[in-house]
Each structure stands twice: as C-alpha cells, then as structure tokens.
Structure 1
C-alpha cells in the first residue's frame, strides 16, 4: 500500500501539486486507517493495485465550508481520503471502478452521502470525482498543512 502511495506522491509532484509532499500520508496513517476499519484496497490478479480510506466518522475538516455549502448537512456521511492507484494499472478505468465500490460500500453501511476533497491543482482527482457524479460544493481547510485549502465535493445517494 505504501508503495502505491509513494507512486502517487511522485505523480502529484510531476503535476506541481504540493499535496502529499510533506511526508503525509505515511505508514502510521495507513496503519491507523486499517485499525479503524477505514482502509480499503482493490486487488487485481492477487495484487493490491489501489488503496483508499473510507472514513465512517465525522470529518472535523468538513465542519466549515466556504464559498458554498453542503447538501443534507444534518445527515451522516462517509469521506473518501488517500485514494491512490498503482502506476502499473493506470489507464484501465480501475480508479473509477474502485471509487464506485467505495460509494457502494458507503450505501451498504447505511450512509446516504459521500464527501471528498482534493487540492485545487489536482485535476486528476477532480475529474475522477466529477465523472462519478460528485458535485463541487466549496472550499474546506485541512489542519496542519501549509497550503491547506481544498476543493470539496459531495455525492448524495
């Protein structure tokens, strides 16, 4: 999983994005995701090819949104974080497949909305979210990060 995250960090750096360039996410973050039951992987031919966190508790970074608003603000939601695909499997629509699974898992768990965020420069993630029905909702700010403004997205199920 960490190898896939490291590949994603390289791709983000090539896109001139500061996202994930400060040591985050690291092995401890992924271990915490697994411990909390938030860690998910996509397996193809017995190989882990993608990883993500599907947070099922309120995300404190989503409490305040600027230049927009959340729909159905009172309803619980899942949050997709740290999604990454192996460089060996890009161009096969597996990111879309994996995101679709995370959305279905959210529904199975009883949630009727999914949220996600990404750096404004991360056009790949924005495209993936929009392609899968997510709507841009505004700007949120993540903690402990220098360039902390994030474009926030939401999908109501």
Structure 2
C-alpha cells in the first residue's frame, strides 16, 4: 500500500503545487464554474502561504497530490454572511482555502483523506471551529465538505481577480 500523509508545504513543492492548481482550475472550467478562473490562486499566493507556514500538501508515495492553505483567525471573507449565520461569533477559527487534488490523483477518494488529515491537525492545535466555502456549482467539493460533517451556514461573497462579489456557500464544523 502506498503511503499517504499530510505535511507542511515547502519551497521546493512550489512547482508541483502550481501545476496541481492549474489542473484544478481547468477542471473547474470544464464544469462551467467561474471559481479560480481569474488567475487566483497563483504561484505568488502559494509562495506567500508557504512563507507564512499555512500551506499544506497531501503526499502520496513521494508525489504532491493535494494542496490547501489553513488560515487562523478572522477571515474578512467570512465577516459578512447572508442567508444564515455562523454557529459562533468567535474569531479564533481556521479557514480552509485553496483546497485542490492533482489531476493524476482525482477519483481516488484522496480529498476525503486530505480533509480528515486537516481536521485532525486542527483538533491537535485546539482549533475546533473550522470554516470553508465553495462555489454553489462545485458539487464534488460540496460532497467532500458535507461528507466530513460540515454544515452549510449561509452565503459569503468573494472577490477573486475579475470576479467581484462571487457567491460562495459557507460551511462550518465545530470539532468536539
């Protein structure tokens, strides 16, 4: 059996992560989604994540198979939620952003395993309030999110490149 684990992203992962995100961008485009179609996230975004120690990779064998960024504290995107509300008003939560699986590993249920590893890390760090958002049409990601116990809490709006006020469904999980 091949080893699968999550670790912090490092500078030497940057090229693999950029390729992975480009593949995810094309996958979203093929689904007719506007998500990630304005040049975000990009290599600079990921380099910043790595420099701030908030980027993580899923490794399968010796290959980078997934990427995400975990942001601690108040997330401006989540300040204004409509059509619902957060379960808590706390500002010490973790936001999961830039979650993607490489084209070469898509369909192997690794997204579920990656999310499990993320939640385990959050729990270990005593960060029990976890939030994430995705495009209303991104059904594969919604399945990963709800399949890990997150509840839809409302709608938030993002500004990605040329996409202004892009609607995203917001989810939350309180680990206990």
How far apart, in 2, do the equivalents of 1:146 and 1:74 lie? 27
Select the structure that is richer in strand. Answer: 2
- Output the TM-score relative to the length of structure 1: 0.96
- The Cα RMSD (Å) is 1.1
1:57 aligns with 73
Gaps of 5+ in 2: 1-16
- Alignment equivalent of 2:168, drawn from 126, 150, 155: 150
- Output the TM-score relative to the length of structure 2: 0.86
Q: Give 1:146 shift.
A: 2.5
- Alignment equivalent of 2:152, drawn from 99, 121, 136: 136
1:28 aligns with 44
Contact preservation (8 Å) 1:75, 1:112: no
Cα deviation per residue 1:10-41 (whole Å; 9 max; x = unaligned)?
A: 11001000000011110000011111111000
How far apart, in 1, do the equivalents of 2:23 and 2:144 lie? 18
4+ residue runs of structure 1 moved beyond 2 angstroms? 143-147
Gaps of 5+ in 1: none
